[in-house]
Amino acid sequence: MAEGTGGPGGGESLLFLTDEQLRKGIEAMFFAYRGFTADPDRILEGMDYGRAHHRAIHFIHRSPGTTVNNLLSILGVTKQSLNRVLRTLIEDGLVESRVGRQDKRERHLVLTEKGAALERELSDAQRARMRAAYRAAGPAAVQGFRQVLEAMMDPQLRRQYQTLKETGS
Amino acid sequence: MAEGTGGPGGGESLLFLTDEQLRKGIEAMFFAYRGFTADPDRILEGMDYGRAHHRAIHFIHRSPGTTVNNLLSILGVTKQSLNRVLRTLIEDGLVESRVGRQDKRERHLVLTEKGAALERELSDAQRARMRAAYRAAGPAAVQGFRQVLEAMMDPQLRRQYQTLKETGS
DNA sequence: CGGTTTATGTCAGCCTTGTTGACTTTCCAA
DNA sequence: TTGGAAAGTCAACAAGGCTGACATAAACCG
């Protein structure tokens, strides 16, 4: 094992690209994603909501006034699927749906105070885990983490992520 | 807010722990996981299998001869849920279930040649994406990636991951 | 030996969250 | 004025989670 960055030829070792290393990354993604969703899931169970509601709430919070179509393209589900979730959130008074000013066909989605409160509770929990992981790994690791994740996305999703990433920072 | 580890005197900045940075990491996980599962999902659609079958096949390949109970604890689902998946895999001749030698209550699971072929197809696709991401990000980033993911896991899952990580390397 | 526990499998029923297909209403824009 | 876009809805279905109840075989223990 081992072999440094500067083997006989001067280039970087490609050992990090072995099937073995890749497999570890794949399994790490699997187990880490479980942790990633665990805290919000715990909060939501018991309420009538699930992970799908969490995702909707997250992105509405993230882009207040976003349209249904916009949300659809971010979440990557069908409108029937999203509508089922949105309907309950609107009925329960967590989300408000406002008719568009310029284009009255559009609905602009915003969190109510009640919705914002749940969003805060969920994202506090998720951020707490993330913060602990970031702190344990350190800033250099975090940078690498984000680089690899970004490279792993489908190009279309990467564009959406980058658009999102820039707004609000 | 802000303020480095050592003030002006040379510690690391804690800017990477801002809510903004954490939110980017959260969204990166969300979008990256979609990419992570996209290729195997594409292969499996049309066959009668889904992501649950993929996971079972992956870990049986990973630990040939593993028992049902062992697989249950790795996958974190109920035995009824796993059994539905295993039954079809066994019926279709992708997985073989062998009565234990010492403990005849146990069933040891192994992939048949047919099962191994599907495993190869799935993991080739998943590794190809991972390899491209690793290559694009570079070895230092990969190390950071794995560090953060590991820190994000629940302690119990982290132990399972680490056990798995060591075997077979 | 007999009782208890463990490992596995199975039936039935439920929930969430995804899908497709068909159809409506409203409204913008050419 | 007409075609198409945005949104919403109904119905039906599938995957993959879950619980609860129960059955069998084997191991283990007193």
What is the per-residue pLDDT across A12-23, written as a single tens digit (0 to 9) for each?
A: 678 899 999 999
Domains of chain A, by residue range, sit at 48-129, 138-169
pLDDT confidence band for B6 (50 / 70 / 90): very low
Nearest to B134 among A16, A123, A143 (CB): A16
More confident residue, A112 or A9: A112
Residue B8 pLDDT exceeds 80 = no
**Check: CATH 3.40.462.10 for B19-137?**
no
pLDDT score recorded for residue B12: 66
Q: What is the mean pLDDT of chain A?
A: 93
Residue B10 pLDDT exceeds 90 = no
A 62-101 residues with CB < 8 A to B: 62, 76
* Residue B9 to residue A156: CA distance in whole angstroms: 43
Which residues have a Cβ under 8 Å from the Cβ of B82 and sit 6 or more positions away?
Answer: B56, B68, B71, B72, B75
Q: Say whether B144 and A140 touch across the interface (CB within 8 A).
A: yes
Range A120-130 average pLDDT: 98
The reply to whether the CB atom of residue A73 sits less than 7 A from any atom in nucleic acid chain D is no
B135 and chain A: CB distance < 8 Å anywhere? yes
Residue A80 pLDDT exceeds 70 = yes
pLDDT score recorded for residue A46: 85
Residue A58 pLDDT exceeds 60 = yes
pLDDT score recorded for residue B169: 58
Q: Say whether A36 and B20 touch across the interface (CB within 8 A).
A: no
pLDDT score recorded for residue A14: 87
What tens digit of pLDDT does each residue of A83-99 get?
999 999 999 999 999 99
From the list B131, B59, B119, the residue with the least C-alpha distance to A21 is B131
Residue B4 pLDDT exceeds 70 = no
DSSP A69-130: HHHHHHHT--HHHHHHHHHHHHHTTSEEEEE-SS-TT-EEEEE-HHHHHHHHHHHHHHHHHH
Q: For tokens 């073995």, what's the residue? A: A20
pLDDT score recorded for residue B46: 85
pLDDT score recorded for residue A3: 44
Range A111-116 average pLDDT: 98
Q: Say whether A148 and B135 touch across the interface (CB within 8 A).
A: no
What tens digit of pLDDT does each residue of B18-60 get?
999 999 999 999 999 999 999 999 999 989 999 999 999 999 9
B2 and chain A: CB distance < 8 Å anywhere? no
Fold of A48-129: Arc Repressor Mutant, subunit A (1.10.10)
Residue A104 pLDDT exceeds 50 = yes
B1, B13, B16: which to substitute to probe chain A, counting the most A Cβ within 10 Å?
B16
- From the CA of A122, how many Å to the C1' of C26? 36
pLDDT score recorded for residue A9: 44
pLDDT confidence band for B165 (50 / 70 / 90): confident
What tens digit of pLDDT does each residue of B112-135 get?
999 999 999 999 999 999 999 999
